[in-house]
Amino acid sequence: MKAKKATLNRRTRLILAAAAAAAVLAAVALLFVLPRASDKPYSSLPLAVHFADVGQGDGIVVLCGDTAIVIDGGEERGWEAMRQTLTENRVERIACYVASHPHADHISNAAKLFASYEVESLMTTAFTDLNRPDSQFYLDMMEAAKQEENCRVIEAGGGDTFEFGQLKLEVFSPLSQTADYNDMSLVIRMTYKNVSFLFTGDASQNAERQITDSGAEIRSTVLKVGHHGGEDATGEMFLESVAPQYAVISCGFRNEYGHPHSEVLDRLKANGVKILRTDELGTVSLYSDGRQIFSKELDEQAEQ
């Protein structure tokens, strides 16, 4: 009888151990399947703006209802981050692809985007014959748009306004022609109800001064900091005019340019702006109900 009891005890222990192991595996699986508590209430909000971690470059995915807008996309090594962001959000059709300006760290993946998704329109800077880009990635982008069935090509400049679904896009720059492609960046404010995002490409303080001198009302809730936080952008007068609550800096971890520069960080902090950086946080996702901005990253900052 003692031997039988010992056998039963061993069997019971094995069953209990197996059950415990199964419970642990199930709990781990749930961590990957279910959104974190901090993400869950935000992902259902009507507006999402994802600043993908493309390294030293810009890559932004905007989602509002059935409308998807993509701005830039980084260099080739940033493609996986862009593809992952689009896939996770089940994007198949893009209402507009915005090429802020023709530098490799912004539009190298444009042709891949056209090959992988249905793109309804391309927005690019209105160049002239004197400064029209001739780089291969720019030519590839333009050819991809040409080959895309029913894709409208929009050549935009300061003063233009567009609407995509519930999103209003106001173009503040460029206001003049130049050979400096950074200052040919499309500077665009996107508005959804009472919140707005100002996307600046790599526009320098020269372009910023032209915008402020024009008298344009550029106040925005969120500023995408120009030129990856370089000291040649985000001047004091421009920053005061934008008066953002939040700033997002898209740059590579320990990049060779030292972005973001301390001068820019100091200006932002002096103006009470909350800063979010892709080199520190990875992909930064901001959500809105049209009144306020929410994000997991902001929640984590508040807890520190």
> Which of 8-22, 160-174, 285-299 is predicted least confidently?
8-22
13 lies in the same domain as 93 = no
Is the pLDDT score of 183 beyond 60?
A: yes
CA distance 73 to 78: 7
Q: Are residues 21 and 144 in the same domain?
A: no
The three-state DSSP-derived secondary structure of the chain is CHHHHHHHHHHHHHHHHHHHHHHHHHHHHHHHHCCCCCCHHHHCCCEEEEECCCCCCCEEEEEECCEEEEEECECHHHHHHHHHHHHHCCCCEECEEECCCCCHHHHCCHHHHHHHCEECEEEEECCCCCCCCCCHHHHHHHHHHHHCCCCEEEEECCCCEEEECCEEEEEEECCCCCCCHHHHCCEEEEEECCEEEEECCCCCHHHHHHHHHCCCCCCCCEEECHHHHCCCCCCHHHHHHHCCCEEEECCCCCCCCCCCCHHHHHHHHHCCCEEEEHHHHCCEEEEECCCCEECHHHHHHHHC
> What was the pLDDT predicted at 19?
56
Q: Is the dihedral of CA 233, 236, 239, 245 positive or negative?
A: positive
The CATH number linked to 165 is 3.60.15.10
Same domain, 42 and 29: no
Which two structure tokens, joined as six digits, stand for 215? 């008298």
Looking at the structure, tell me whether residues 23 and 52 fall in a common domain: no
pLDDT band at 269 (very low <50, low <70, confident <90, very high): very high
User: Which tens digit of pLDDT belongs to each residue from 5-26?
Assistant: 444 455 555 555 555 555 545 4
By the 8 A CB rule, do 196 and 223 touch? no
Tell me which residue has tokens 């390294």: 55
> Rounded mean pLDDT of 101-115?
97
Residues 222 and 247 in one domain: yes
Does the pLDDT value for residue 256 go beyond 50?
yes
Same domain, 1 and 150: no
Alpha-carbon span 60 to 5, nearest angstrom:
66
Instruction: Write the pLDDT tens digit of every residue in 190-204.
Output: 999 999 999 999 999
pLDDT digits (tens, 9 = 90+) for 39-82: 557 989 999 999 999 999 999 999 999 999 999 999 999 999 99
**Is there a single domain that holds both residue 13 and residue 87?**
no
Tokens for 150?
């029913």
CA distance 51 to 61: 7
Amino acid at the residue 279: D
Average pLDDT across the chain, whole number: 90
Give the integer Cα–Cα distance in Å for 64 and 66: 6
Q: Looking at the 3D structure of the chain, how many domains does it have? A: 2
Does 40 share its domain with 18?
Answer: no
Q: Residue range 264-288: average pLDDT?
A: 98
Q: State residue 303's pLDDT score.
A: 81
d(CA 76, CA 110) in angstroms, rounded, equals 10
Asked whether residue 123 falls in the same domain as residue 46, the answer is yes
CA distance 111 to 105: 14
Give the range of the structural domain holding residue 14, as residue numbers without chain letter: 1-34
Indicate if the pLDDT at residue 288 is higher than 50: yes
Q: What is the pLDDT of residue 55?
A: 97
Whether residue 81 sits in one domain with residue 20: no
pLDDT, residue 4, reads 39
What is the per-residue burial (b if ≥16 Cβ within 10 Å, else e) of 1-36?
Answer: eeeeeeeeeeeeeeeeeeeeeeeeeeeeeeeeeeee
Give yes or no: residues 17 and 78 share one domain: no
* Domain identity same for 21 and 103: no
Give every CB contact of residue 215 below 8 A, 6+ residues apart in sequence: none
C-alpha span between 71 and 3 (Å, rounded): 73
